[in-house]
Amino acid sequence: MTSIKDYKIATLGSHSALQILKGAKDEGFETVCICMKGRRKPYESYGVADEIIEIDKFDEFFNIQSELMKKNTILIPHGSFVTYIGPESMKDLKIMHYGTKGILEF
């Protein structure tokens, strides 16, 4: 039987990430924050990320996607995520994610 402990919630570091990760922790999920190198302090200070993965630039997200998939991670995209990654690149997501990629097509 699958339980909440079988999944992790991840998002890209931003002001929205603090709220997303806090909510996920409140619901009992382990959390992962993907942020730019040197920008981990807010997520450590507020204690919202169980794991922090630092990358040099946001387009490197796709380099760690398989690592996240092995951890059974569900990605929560947000406005900054779409801005950093780009709507066209969002279509290339292979990781489990909340929401639909089609919403980005205007």
Q: What is the pLDDT of residues 47-92, one digit of tens each?
A: 999 999 999 998 899 999 999 999 999 999 888 888 888 777 877 8
Domains (range + CATH), the chain: 4-104 (3.40.50.20)
Rounded-to-integer distance, Cα 73 and Cα 44, Å? 20
Contact 11, 77 (CB under 8 A): yes
pLDDT > 90 fraction of the chain, expressed in percent and rounded: 62
Rounded-to-integer distance, Cα 97 and Cα 69, Å? 10
Contact 85, 57 (CB under 8 A): no
Residue with tokens 């040099």: 56
